Chains A and B, each alone.
Chain A
């Protein structure tokens, strides 16, 4: 296998883009990535795009061809493939691009992610997202994502005694980081009170425990490491790519407050990179709900099972803590355009490793990790990236 490097990144502002279309968003992200890599589109050999539900959100399928067409590639007839794994679609699109380059099949490959979620009413988007769970055994009987993650939170708090205040620290910390990220949807700092007094969504999860509905797109360009210097002085090497799956329904899991797919993907990634948790300078985890970040940092081995609440409340996951988590603001503050999230996580780690993260920069960042979850943990993609 060849070594693979990220040579360009681009990300739209995340938010409610009511005056812009699905295609406007991915075109902007792609153009930003090309500009960042200082290359023209003619060099692109293939594209992968992560998208969960354009069919439900904007009534558009056949996203692979559409994105290639609007990226100006139609006359070059390059292969372009949509990748779908619910909220992990972006992470898997990145993995497909990395595999395509590593295998020697392609040289310059774009991995993009896009979701346009605000063109439908909130009820319709909640229902579309429920397709990431088991429709027959969960969705049809009334479960929604806030409800499913609320069950995880209840189970976790019962087993490990995490307090409601400890859980709220996740959102407070992510908003602090998001307030330092120019693309964040909700770039404002909040207090514990903001979380604890916000509207109840599904007990114990309140509004500020939940990631928002977001429009946005992100794109990265990968190339063989040996060619990376043609395009950039700061190539970022892909040290590991890992993916794991689990039962689609939450109730079929061995333990509902451990995401075994996160554990498996994390272990595979560390093995592939020949690294341990101590080597990681910062990690972007999938905090679709505050409880998801609590589970993630334990499942990836950054702290012991049952201790993440205290670990977070003690500031160990904040900027300057033992392991800074979600320096971008995470899904909570930066926003969660479902298919784009996995790619945005890669953009954030690359930005950190290049030293371009401004007021949220982790000093001397050498190695970073991304963790992207589909559904309640039926698909997990984990990547490790490092400075060359």
Chain B
């Protein structure tokens, strides 16, 4: 049955605290930490971008399970911060892990859910027999304009999933999506930073679509929140996933392992894939995992996943760092060095 063969995550080691950003803009940090439930966010190094993060995540996936990279027939990288507007990140990743040239590749964009959209595409190709393995990655060095509310959460990180049929560590029993044309958040060609519709991103954006896809999953799988061991939701902040989980009947215990955002920030395309990875890091055979991503624009992909015995003997989870390990021991930056890392300071050639 189609499922996850292996997975890997990469998070840059640098962090900036919400207090430090608030200090620069004269905002009250406790209003922000209290309102969003985010305390710090990851920051890429100066030479890190969505492509390097995708490569690191893919390599971490391969460290855990030694599959032949030449058997990866498709590479999809979902991001809204692809380093090139034209020239695929997916080719860089494919080359770096030795999957080229007999493979198809493409970059995907669906705000924060392009990573899970890639997983669905790989599932389809694996199930139809077109490919043996597909690699789907969600990776972002998220953009938030200086002074904008997004600046407190826009973070960097990514997760990679190899999808296949042979001895998956977790079967993906079903996936379904809920999509509409909703302008809650956007960035036009040539613009440096995205814009958002303020409070409009909440109810008509996140909550409508996450609940839409989640309820569709309950209906199609004849399940309720109580049937799952864990649940992972897209986490632009800590408040939204906790609220939607509660509204759908999940407990805080179910979502806790996959809620990385308080110490990580919003890694956009990486967010739900990293949340799922953090859950797989601690999962046992038989655990039943619910996942629902969200991308502005807007849509959600839901997944019903069951962890198999293969998680014990077919992969070596310790061969690559867990999400917990990647979050531990950070290096904190002040705003000036953060600005340098994020390319917000324009330097002379």
Residues of A in contact with B (beta carbons under 8 Å apart): 16, 18-19, 118, 121-122, 199-200
- A118: B residues at CB distance < 8 A: 199-200
* 9 nearest CB pairs, A to B: A199-B31, A18-B204, A122-B198, A18-B200, A121-B198, A199-B28, A16-B199, A200-B28, A19-B204
What are 11 contact pairs spanning A and B, CB under 8 A?
Answer: A16-B203, A18-B203, A18-B204, A19-B204, A118-B199, A118-B200, A121-B197, A121-B198, A122-B198, A199-B28, A200-B28
Nearest residue (CB) in B for A200 is B28
Residues of B in contact with A (beta carbons under 8 Å apart): 28, 31, 197-200, 203-204
Cα A23 to Cα B204 in complex, Å, equals 20
Chain B nearest CB: distance from A106 CB in Å?
Answer: 41
11 other contacts beyond A18-B204, A121-B197, A199-B31, with CB at 8 A cut-off?
Answer: A16-B199, A16-B203, A18-B200, A18-B203, A19-B204, A118-B199, A118-B200, A121-B198, A122-B198, A199-B28, A200-B28
- B199: A residues at CB distance < 8 A: 16, 118
- B200: A residues at CB distance < 8 A: 18, 118
B interface, by DSSP: helix, strand, loop or mixed?
helix
Cα A200 to Cα B204 in complex, Å, equals 28
Cα A200 to Cα B27 in complex, Å, equals 10
Chain B nearest CB: distance from A354 CB in Å?
Answer: 34
- A16: B residues at CB distance < 8 A: 199, 203
Cα A122 to Cα B204 in complex, Å, equals 17
- B197: A residues at CB distance < 8 A: 121
- A121: B residues at CB distance < 8 A: 197-198
Chain B nearest CB: distance from A137 CB in Å?
Answer: 27
Chain A nearest CB: distance from B22 CB in Å?
Answer: 12
- A19: B residues at CB distance < 8 A: 204
- B198: A residues at CB distance < 8 A: 121-122
Cα A199 to Cα B149 in complex, Å, equals 14
Cα A124 to Cα B198 in complex, Å, equals 12
- A200: B residues at CB distance < 8 A: 28
Chain B nearest CB: distance from A375 CB in Å?
Answer: 25
Nearest residue (CB) in A for B205 is A18
Nearest residue (CB) in A for B196 is A121
Nearest residue (CB) in A for B32 is A199
- A122: B residues at CB distance < 8 A: 198
Chain B nearest CB: distance from A214 CB in Å?
Answer: 12
Cα A19 to Cα B199 in complex, Å, equals 14
Chain A nearest CB: distance from B55 CB in Å?
Answer: 38
Cα A123 to Cα B209 in complex, Å, equals 27
Chain B nearest CB: distance from A285 CB in Å?
Answer: 27
Chain A nearest CB: distance from B251 CB in Å?
Answer: 24
Nearest residue (CB) in A for B202 is A16
Cα A118 to Cα B201 in complex, Å, equals 13
Cα A19 to Cα B198 in complex, Å, equals 16
Nearest residue (CB) in A for B200 is A18
Cα A40 to Cα B28 in complex, Å, equals 54
Cα A118 to Cα B184 in complex, Å, equals 13
